[in-house]
Structure 1
Amino acid sequence: MNEEGAGAAERLLALIGEHRDTIRQALDDTQYTLLLTRLTALAEVAPDDDRAVRRALQGVRLALLSLPHEHPVRQELESSRGTLMLPGPGTVAGAQELTAWFRLPSPVREPAYGGDPEQDRLLSEPALSADEARLRCGGAPPPELIRLRDPRDGDRYPEFQFAPAGGTPHGVVLEVNRLLLADIDPWGAAAWWFSGNTWLGGAPAALLGRLPDQRLVGAARELAEGE
């Protein structure tokens, strides 16, 4: 057993429980619903199905990437990058307890744009409009592409996903985005691409073409699958 990763799942779930009030305040409705969906999936896994528990746990980790960088749970995720997070006997039970709490009614929230520094940061990156993305793709953009909803400017497709000089989407980006579940969690996927990664030595979006594609895929797979 990887001793560094042993018990890490329970520690993460305990930290989520400790900071559950601030998590609820830090996420917008869409992000909050996604986190609840991922916690529910973990809570419903058979505790003795280790592979299923690990995959469901990685879904929770991906959903938590929407938290601001300064949040204690997000800091824990950053510090554990590259560590195999092994589930323990209390992982599913911990998720069941958290799911029950997170299902309690929450107050009506204001739109996140303009009040969420993390989303503002991601929306400030160079991006293509929906029409520009369709032209680059020769039709409807594939669901694997990150599509960020901007209340002011409509759908935005981060530009790093496309080859320069009017090129089509990078194949490695589509592969990584499938691992990051970008079609259901675009903010979390975008946060991974634009955030520093100690494994890779920088933000993955800035390392396209500078590192072998399989290094990028491997880093994403480690997070997405825990393998």
Structure 2
Amino acid sequence: MLVDRDRARDTIHALSDQDLLELLSEEFSRRPNLRPVRDDVTALLAMGPALALQHERAVANPAAAAVARTRIVSSALRSLVEEHEMLDSTAVSRALGRAATSRNTASRLASSGSVIALPAAGHKLFPAFQFDTERREVRPIVAEINRIIGAKEDPWGAASWWLNPTAFADDPRSPADLAVAGGHDQDLRDMSGDLVAD
């Protein structure tokens, strides 16, 4: 299907801001590769007017711009840690049935890319969903996908993907929820495949 891009662009320009946001949100929902980021992008777009005002202020003061960026990132990371159960390296050892004094277990798993290790205030935090405490192991599907999506190289990005809900296959649960529930290994592989394909 050939689309007249200029005509489409003119139509889009005529939309109100609210209509444009709704159109983009609907379009993101229709495209499987964009569903994982739909809510984040829609939220950012909705903040556009406030961000534009902040940008105008920041241009006048580059130091303030750097501080504002740091605050925004810190706030996003803090909410991720506050909203989800995290383990320190000692708790990881306990969850896996190892001696509580063995911190090397968590470090080895993070070094191999099997688990997400979030750097926070000089320590590492490990999202708890990664560990099956009954079987005393890292969930195999989690380890597999963490290596695929590059959890070692981008732990915050990987954590964000796992912990935020998606609309994949009309299931609003997060990938972490699907991993914990079990029986969704192929769905998780498909979702991670879509992520790395982008």
TM range (shorter): 0.5 to 0.7
**Runs of 5+ consecutive residues of structure 2 not aligned to the other structure:** 6-32, 47-61, 99-103
Match of 1:217 among 160, 183, 189: 189
Answer 1 or 2: which has greater helix percent: 2
The percent of aligned pairs where both chains have the same amino acid is 22
Per-residue deviation at 1:157? 0.4
Residue 72 of structure 1: aligned partner: 45
Relative to structure 1, the CA distance from residue 112 to residue 171 in structure 2 (aligned partners, 3 Å threshold; closer, same or farther) is farther
TM-score of the two chains, using structure 2 as the length reference: 0.55
TM-score of the two chains, using structure 1 as the length reference: 0.48
Distance 1:146 1:69 in 2: 26
**Runs of 5+ consecutive residues of structure 1 not aligned to the other structure:** 8-57, 74-105
Distance 2:138 2:115 in 1: 8
Match of 2:156 among 184, 187, 195: 187
Larger radius of gyration: 2
Relative to structure 1, the CA distance from residue 206 to residue 148 in structure 2 (aligned partners, 3 Å threshold; closer, same or farther) is same
Per-residue deviation at 1:211? 3.8
Q: How does 1:108-187 map to 2 (within 5 A)?
A: 109-110=66-67, 112=70, 116-124=74-82, 125-135=84-94, 136=96, 139=105, 140-141=108-109, 142-151=112-121, 154-165=123-134, 167-187=136-156
Per-residue deviation at 1:115? 6.1
Distance 2:156 2:73 in 1: 15
Asked if the contact 1:146–1:183 (Cα under 8 Å) also holds between the matched residues in 2, the reply is yes
Relative to structure 1, the CA distance from residue 224 to residue 164 in structure 2 (aligned partners, 3 Å threshold; closer, same or farther) is same
Distance 2:71 2:91 in 1: 23
Note the alpha carbon deviations across 1:178-203, whole angstroms, 9 max, x for none.
Answer: 12111111111111111111115121
Distance 1:118 1:69 in 2: 16
Q: Secondary structure at the match of 2:166?
A: coil
2:178 aligned partner, one-letter code: L
- Matched length: 135
Q: CA RMSD in A?
A: 3.8
Match of 2:168 among 195, 199, 209: 199
Q: How does 1:94-109 map to 2 (within 5 A)?
A: 109=66
Q: Secondary structure at the match of 1:182?
A: coil
